[in-house]
Amino acid sequence: MRDVIGYEEKDPAITRHLTSGYPRFVVHPFSKLAGAHLLRSLGLSEHSVWLTSSIRAAEQLRVHLGEPASLLPPEAALTGVVFPETAGLAGRAKTFLQHTGMFLSSREAEDYLLRVGELTDAQAQEEKGFEGYAPANVKGHVARFYQHATTTDVFLATSGMNAIAATFRVVSDLQRPLGRTRWLQLGWLYIDTIAILQKFTDTPAVDHLYQSNVFDLPALEALLAAQGDRIAALITEVPTNPLIQTPDLPAIAALCRRHGVMLVIDPTIASPLNLDVLPHADVVVNSLTKYTASEGDVMLGAVVVNPHGVHAAELRARLPHALEPVYSRDIARLAAQIGDTPAVIAQINRTTPAVVEFLRTHPKVKELYWSLHPASRDNYLALARSPEAIGSMISLVVDMPAAAFYDRLRLAKGPSFGMKHTLICPFMYLAHYDLVTSESGRATLAASGLHPELMRLSIGCEPAEEIIAALAEALA
């Protein structure tokens, strides 16, 4: 836990040991090397460069940063934005790319380094490829996962976050001419989804609406009755992250349709293989980094349009122009492992209940959340593809010093989920350190039912007894 805090506080004693990390938060070493090579080759010493997934992304970043940021020249062979180090824009550039998921692919950076001789073939990463047309393979799998969609309804993105950011722009553009500029956030959502609503709505102080209680249908009905004609969309996760709460989705969908509000759903926490949400949504956004990329070595996202939705044709026409192009090697890598997804999820679904039962009855577990928590069990099962389709996610608060539990726990530690190996992280510290460490921030968390010491556990494919033994040791 000391290292987690050191990372968040940018303590050099901790950060100097970090060679890599979650790609939207820690710039990949290959991207750093590619950027340094570009600056040298262009004679731009004492400048910073931020590499992007396309020229369109670079232009959006340039506009966001303003002067003195400029695009890399065409001869650079990669796209991005450059500015003097003294401009103080690096933090804003990183945050914008984190929110929008438009960082350069590490595999594209690697290929660039090989071309310019900064890496040798012996230094390149070896990985299993895919024989065939990878985009069609991935889209076909995703369409089958959702069951109600065809490949023409599936659009790929560089990450789940890019899927969300692009969908936000497309839906906003569709609804703005109708005077609908407001977005309604239902429940506490993932940090960057919240950030998009807080920063990128037309007038954030007015246009970002938040209802923390996902179960309060009367409050939602009253809000829509009062402001429904000005709301572009309601966005929620099913279940939510990290409280794993499932709202009454059919009732919410009916309210949205009645008021002309588009419904955007993110089912990443449990996976669309476990939950049937598309019939209730106008559009679904999904991180394929989770569950489908079960080796944990590639980022990708998807947007899936409800083919029977009122706005289906417009969404299909606009989404390709808003989403970032996926690098060929990334999609090939996902194609090589996406076929494992049903088996991976089936194994996780068998293991999670055993781990939950152990934690539920342990005297040192104070709070426990999972997809079949009594508060939303019925709502979840109404959407589940089977009673066993419960997903990997468990959140817990321990009745002991959190650092003692975390430090003793012999499980892999990291901020992702939906992989073949079990992962745990002190989620609030990693995602909301600013809130955890201030009195007002803790009050904000408490108002949404969030404990600052909450741990998020993602079950993998290891035997249940191994996971339980590690938890028992840490809780002793």
Distance CA 368, CA 360 (A): 7
Please identify which residue in the block is written with the tokens 């430090």.
Answer: 407
Half-sphere exposure of 200 (CA within 13 A, CB side): 22
* CA 423 from centre of chain: 16
At residue 122, the pLDDT reads: 81
Q: How many residues does the chain have?
A: 476
Domain architecture of the chain: domains with CATH: 18-123 (no CATH), 134-338 (3.40.640.10), 341-475 (3.90.1150.10)
At residue 384, the pLDDT reads: 98
Who contacts 329 (Cβ-Cβ below 8 Å, separation ≥6)?
A: 105, 107, 108, 111
Instruction: Give the strand order in the sheet containing 208-211.
Output: 154-157, 301-305, 283-287, 262-266, 231-237, 182-186, 208-211
At residue 125, the pLDDT reads: 76
Radius of gyration of the chain (CA): 22
At residue 20, the pLDDT reads: 84
Hey, which bits of 182-299 come out as E strands?
182-186, 208-211, 231-237, 262-266, 283-287
The Cα angle at residue 379 between residues 283 and 306, in degrees rounded to 5: 15
Please answer whether residues 417 and 391 qualify as being in contact, where contact means their C-beta atoms are separated by less than 8 angstroms: no
At residue 385, the pLDDT reads: 97
At residue 260, the pLDDT reads: 97
Tell me the CA distances in angstroms from 169 to 62, 163, 227, 303, 318, one per residue in order: 17, 10, 21, 13, 10
Helix (H) or strand (E) holding 303: strand 301-305
At residue 442, the pLDDT reads: 96
Distance CA 375, CA 394 (A): 14
DSSP letter string, 264-287: EEE-TTT-TTTB--GGG-SEEEEE
- pLDDT tens track, the chain, 476 positions: 999 999 999 999 999 998 888 888 889 999 999 999 999 999 999 999 999 999 999 999 999 999 999 999 999 999 999 999 999 999 999 999 999 999 999 999 999 999 999 998 888 878 888 989 999 999 999 999 999 999 999 999 999 999 999 999 999 999 999 999 999 999 999 999 999 999 999 999 999 999 999 999 999 999 999 999 999 999 999 999 999 999 999 999 999 999 999 999 999 999 999 999 999 999 999 999 999 999 999 999 999 999 999 999 999 999 999 999 999 999 999 999 999 999 999 999 999 999 999 999 999 999 999 999 999 999 999 999 999 999 999 999 999 999 999 999 999 999 899 999 999 999 999 999 999 999 999 999 999 999 999 999 999 999 999 999 999 999 99
pTM: 0.95
At residue 305, the pLDDT reads: 98
